[in-house]
Amino acid sequence: MSWIHKLYETYENCQSMIGMGSSGKEVPLLPICHTTNKAQIEIVIDHRGNFKRARVVPKDDARTIIPCTESSGGRTSGEAPHPLCDKLQYVAKDYAKYGVSKDSYFATYESELGKWCMSQQHPKALAVFEYIKKGHVIKDLIDNKVLIIGDDGKLIEKPDKKSKDVPDVFKVLKDQSEAFIRWEVETPDDNCSKGWEDKTLWDSWINYYSNIKQGKSLCYVTGKELLGAEQHPAKLRNDGDKAKLISSNDSSGFTFRGRFTDAQQACGVGFEITQKAHSALRWLINRQGYRSGYQAIVAWATSGKEIPDPLADPLSVLGEEEELVSDDSDVVSTAQNIALKFNKKIAGYKAELGDTSGIVVMGLDSATPGRMAITFYRELTGADFLKRVEQWHETCAWVHDYRSIEDKNNKKAKRKYLRFVGAPALRDIAEAAYGSKVDDKLKKSTVERLLPCIVDGQQIPHDIVDSAIRRACNRVGMEGWEWNKTISIACALFRKRNEKEGYSMALDESRKTRDYLYGRLLALADSLEQWALNKAREDRQTNAARLMQRFAEHPCSTWRTLELSLSPYKARLGAQSQKRQAMIDEVKNMFDTEEFMSDKKLSGEFLLAYSCQREALRPRGNINTNENEQESTTETEQ
């Protein structure tokens, strides 16, 4: 139960964050005995329970902190009322009067709210109780044109298609009878009329619900006798998530029949412990976690301090995009600058966290909608965690330029590209290895397999590296931006996989290995032909680009074809091509004769050389190696 203890510890260290951002898009850290729901209608009453007004809640303001019981917090169907805010089906006594086919659960809702009011006497809860007893909630909403009825006096199911003005309620909800209600109580001398932001109301419900619970049992987390949890919270990954990490059901499904007589024997967790731990996990996932379908991965410091995202690339860790929009150049910042800033950022984390701060990395996934499992779990010290993140970005680094940004204030402005040195994000690695339309299951599996490469320092699986290299060789099968992204990621993965070779990100003119030299030749041939095409204003792929996959399989025979195909382009360029041809001859002379004649398949090393040679030929300030090649070579000749 180490994971739940770490989450409980995190919650205790982040008490000051409880309730912050409760009305926005962010998921807040919740007080115990509370959950969140998206409200569609807000009803305003006075402190005596008299209706004042109502409105449809905009989607960006819909998230609402509400009191809940253990049963209502995890309900999927059946009758389990929230004690204050809930759907019309619960809070409206006149629900059945307006032609709604679903059952009304008003009686149980009124009973729950009444018991709370009798015990705690909180003015807001009392005002809501007085109002709902009058039995005209839906009538008031109709009179205020929040809910819409037809000519028969019943709630309409859909808006009139012929009408140009769609009622506000149908802009946030398909079925208005399913509307969720939240309450605002205007009381003299009370500055906080919104019930979902009133901490005194939160405390009132916590005190009441904690006092009505009975039966202590051994808590497996703390080792103490505490009030036991009957059910555990859901909604961990999103608002509609019903899967639970801890659950038991022996009335149907027979989860533990034959092993235990009741659920507490299988796993006992204190009520307050599980509420705080699950609230912390939900907050962390939505605040700083990686999510893909049912998969969620999150890393955090139990102290509550900020840490870098181990799954992200350097630009995401730095959060540089907004600052770089104002730069005047098309290529924003240099790869060197990004690398320096990243190193400073890591140093800042080291100073903030210290060596002994606890770091947890946790992965979650579910095969079914109702059950969730922990697929990855590691506990590290702050020093170890940052050392491994830093090592990952150093050893799996390459120069990337596939990230771009646009000026949000000027949509017509030209998009700007970001060049950075570092390891690619894990989701980008999955797309580079298996395509941008990779199956969700394969993408999740790939991210899960790569995570230990960062956190544990394990070697990258060879099949992922090989797949990325194969796709990078298939240049004609991708658009330019996708191939550019794939080749830089493939180079980063090959360099990481062959770390002992000590490959440099800059062109190594002294390296004489067969695969490296063939990679340089391909880049030079590609560059020379592209230069001639640009000069003639022809827009098509070069022979080197079209034959890249064949070149990777049969380099010697393919090179003969490529070399012959360069003749008309050399003639077109005339004397200007002499220096580029001299570079080709220089590389050819570095080969061992037998190795040059061999048609054996090339390894991923040729992609490293190809990328480095392209980078060496790239004119300064231009992010695309194949653009302005004419100008680049002219400068070289001079």
pLDDT at 560 over 50: yes
Could you tell me which residue, 321 or 558, shows the higher pLDDT? 558
For residue 8, is it within any domain?
Answer: no
Q: Out of 89-98, 163-172, 177-186, 402-411, pick the least confident.
A: 402-411
Q: From CA 620, how far away is CA 317, in angstroms rounded?
A: 26
Exposure letters 348-373 (e unless 16+ CB within 10 A, then b): ebeeebeeebbbbbbbbbbeeeeebe
Look at residue 395 and tell me if it is in a domain: yes
Q: Is residue 250 part of a domain?
A: no
Query: What is the rounded CA–CA span in Å between residue 303 and residue 458?
Result: 27
Note whether 107 and 180 are same-domain residues.
yes
- 301 by DSSP, 3-state: which? strand
Q: Which of 193, 212, 231 is the last residue of a domain?
A: 212
Domain boundary among 183, 212, 241: 212
Same domain, 439 and 469: yes
Q: Is residue 289 part of a domain?
A: no
Residue 15 included in any domain: no
Residue 539: is it exposed, middle or buried by C-beta count within 10 angstroms (0-12/13-18/19+)? Answer: exposed
Are 194 and 111 in the same domain? yes
Distance separating alpha carbons of residues 238 and 522, to the nearest angstrom: 49
How many whole angstroms separate alpha carbon 324 and alpha carbon 332?
6
DSSP 404: E
Q: Taking residues 220-240, report their average pLDDT.
A: 86
Residue 186 covered by a domain: yes
Position 130, amino acid: E
Q: Which residues contact 587 (CB under 8 A, 6 or more apart)?
A: 517, 520, 521, 524
Show the tokens assigned to 285: 């996932």
Q: Looking at the predicted structure, is the pLDDT value of residue 604 above 90?
A: yes
For 128-167, b/e burial (b = at least 16 CB within 10 A) is: bbbbbeeebbbbbbbeeebbbeeeeeebbeeeeeeeeeeb
Residue 32 pLDDT class (50, 70, 90 cuts): very high
The pLDDT of residue 180 is 96
Q: What angle do CA 587, 591, 593 make, to 5 degrees?
A: 140
pLDDT, residue 326, reads 44
Helix/strand/coil for 365: strand
Q: How many domains does the chain have?
A: 3
Q: Are 463 and 442 in contact (CB under 8 A)?
A: no
Residue 162's pLDDT is 72
Based on the fold, state whether residues 529 and 622 are members of the same structural domain. Answer: yes
User: Which pLDDT tens digit goes with each residue over 241-295?
Assistant: 888 888 766 555 555 556 666 666 667 888 899 999 999 999 999 999 999 888 9
In a domain, 561, yes or no: yes
Beta strands in 302-337 (DSSP E): 331-332
Phi, psi of 404 (to 5 degrees): -140, 160
Examine the domain organization and report whether 70 and 143 are in the same domain: yes
What mean pLDDT is predicted for residues 621-630?
Answer: 45
Q: Which domain holds residue 112?
A: 31-212
pTM of the model: 0.87
**Nearest-CA neighbor of 517 among 599, 605, 633?**
605
Label residue 405 by pLDDT band (50, 70, 90). low
**Band (413; pLDDT cuts 50, 70, 90):** low
User: pLDDT digits over 337-372, tens only?
Assistant: 778 888 898 999 989 888 778 999 999 998 888 889
Query: CA geometry: angle at 424 spanning 423 and 429, to 5°?
Result: 130
In angstroms, the CA 368 to CA 608 distance is 43
**Cα–Cα distance measured from residue 256 to residue 258, given in angstroms and rounded to the nearest whole number:** 6
Same domain, 487 and 519: no
Contacts of residue 562, Cβ cutoff 8 Å, sequence gap at least 6: 522, 525, 543, 544, 547, 551
Residue 163: the pLDDT is 74
* Helix runs in 456-599, H state only: 462-473, 480-497, 514-535, 543-546, 548-553, 555-565, 567-573, 578-589, 593-597
Please name every residue paired with 41 in a beta bridge, in sequence order, or none if there are none. 56, 181
Is 550 found in the same domain as 498? Answer: no
234-246: b (≥16 Cβ within 10 Å) or e: bbbbeeebbbbbb
- SS3 state of residue 329: coil
Candidate from 216-225, 358-367, 400-409, 550-559 with smallest mean pLDDT: 400-409
82-111 average pLDDT score: 92
Residues 409 and 433 in one domain: yes
pLDDT band at 531 (very low <50, low <70, confident <90, very high): very high
Instruction: Give the DSSP letter string of 159-227.
Output: --TT-SS--THHHH-S-GGG-EEEEEEE-TT-S--BGGG-HHHHHHHHHHHHHH---EEE-TTTSSEEE
Contact 23, 61 (CB under 8 A): yes
Q: Is the pLDDT of residue 150 over 60?
A: yes
Same domain, 57 and 100: yes
Are 475 and 566 contained in the same domain?
no
Instruction: Provide, rounded to the nearest whole percent, the portion of the chain with pLDDT above 70.
Output: 89
- Which residues are CB-contacts of 570 (< 8 A; sequence separation ≥ 6)? 528, 532, 577, 581
Single residue among 212, 232, 256 that ends a domain in this structure = 212
Verify that 158 and 200 share a domain, yes or no.
Answer: yes
Ranking 125-139, 173-187, 403-417, 522-536 by mean pLDDT, the lowest is 403-417
CA 408 to chain centre: 21
In a domain, 21, yes or no: no
- In what helix (H) or strand (E) does residue 419 lie, and over which residues does it extend? strand 416-422
- Pair 540, 603 in one domain: yes
Query: What region does 12 belong to: left with phi over 0, alpha with psi -120 to 50, or beta?
Result: alpha
